[in-house]
Amino acid sequence: MQHAGRKASSQAPWDGFGPLGAEDAARGEVPWTAWGPTAAGWSDAYPPTHPIDAADVGYLIDCYRRATGLALRAGFDAIEIHAAHGYLLHSFLSPLANTRSDEFGGPLEGRMRFPLAVARVVREAWPDERPLLFRMSCVDGESIGWSIDDSIALARRLRAIGVDAIDCTSGGMSLPSPSHLVARHPGFQVPFARAIREGAGMPTVAVGLIRSAAQANAIVEEGAADLVALAREALWNPNFAAQAAQELGADPAWRSWPRQFGWWLQRRARADRRNR
């Protein structure tokens, strides 16, 4: 569940990933005015946004409430509030984007006010027995903007509201220098999940360049996170979960494999044994 905020009105990644312009409008993707905590666009390449006022905040909170009700009617089992990657709620949290001086800006408490209000209304509208997750960028970058200490403070407040787990990612703000980017390597965001799990006392989800069953399993076994989430690896290999179950000994008979794929693997295994 998300609102794109200052990153709205943008191209698909395969079209350039920038703001929509005249060429996009010519093929039917017409730009619109994005919303944000101030009039500043996401970066210098983006146009100014509509600065959200107190009335807009009330309207948006009601939109989240209604969206939660629609998700419930549609039969979803869990909801995740997306407050990361430079989208609307993240832009209110980060001091790099939120330079307001009213009740929704300033110190940490003010910058958390709107995202906490969203979490509260979603939890009220979502059944207690169904999980509610909150995805946050645990840091804006290296030694700049929103910090891991800020994330721990927010996670504690979310736990009190009834959020069940924090999905721990990073980045998404336009940073002044490439030197501020978080270094990317396999499992590079796992330390954030561990820090919030230990500092806020609530379950976390580890994400980011997690590519193997052994790596994912080790993260949980070592207590760095309670869950592991994969996206690109699952797109690359739609049978990842079934392969992981076999690799880790949870499904040695291939019961969870697609029938056609399991049949092919067994045939290949027999051929391998004959050729030894």
The number of domains in the chain is 2
Same domain for 27 and 142, yes or no, is: yes
H-helix or E-strand spanning residue 3:
none
pLDDT score for 106: 96
Query: d(Cα 263, Cα 276) in Å, to the nearest integer?
Result: 21
- Specify the DSSP class assigned to residue 229: -
Q: Which residues lie across from 135 on neighbouring strands?
A: 82, 167
Residues 73 and 122 in one domain: yes
Q: Which domain holds residue 257?
A: 238-276
Q: Are residues 131 and 34 in the same domain?
A: yes
CB 239 within 8 Å of CB 265: no
Residues 265/270/272/276 CA torsion (nearest 10 deg): 160
pLDDT digits (tens, 9 = 90+) for 42-95: 999 999 999 999 999 999 999 999 999 999 999 999 999 999 999 999 999 999
* One domain, residues 148 and 245: no
Same domain, 44 and 113: yes
The per-residue DSSP string of 108-142 comes to: HHHHHHHHHHHHHHHHHHS-TTS-EEEEEES-SBT
Residues 219 and 225: beta-carbon distance below 8 Å = yes
Q: Structure tokens of 105?
A: 């800006």
**What pLDDT is recorded for position 258?**
65
Specify whether 258 is located in the same domain as 158.
Answer: no
Weakly modelled stretches of the chain, pLDDT under 70:
251-269, 272-273, 276
Same domain, 254 and 184: no
Distance between CA 6 and CA 87 in Å, rounded?
Answer: 6
pLDDT at 179: 84
Nearest C-alpha neighbor of 208 from the set 182, 179, 237, 177:
182
Cα(271)–Cα(276) distance, integer angstroms? 9
Q: Which of 180, 193, 175, 184 is nearest to 211 (CA)?
A: 184
**Contacts of 29 by beta carbon, 8 Å cutoff, 6+ apart:** 11, 20
User: How many beta carbons lie within 10 A of that of residue 112, not counting itself?
Assistant: 20
List the CATH number of the domain containing 171.
3.20.20.70
Do the beta carbons of residue 219 and residue 206 sit within 8 Å? yes
Domain shared by 130 and 263, yes or no = no
- CA 12 to chain CA centroid, nearest Å: 18
59 is catalytic: no
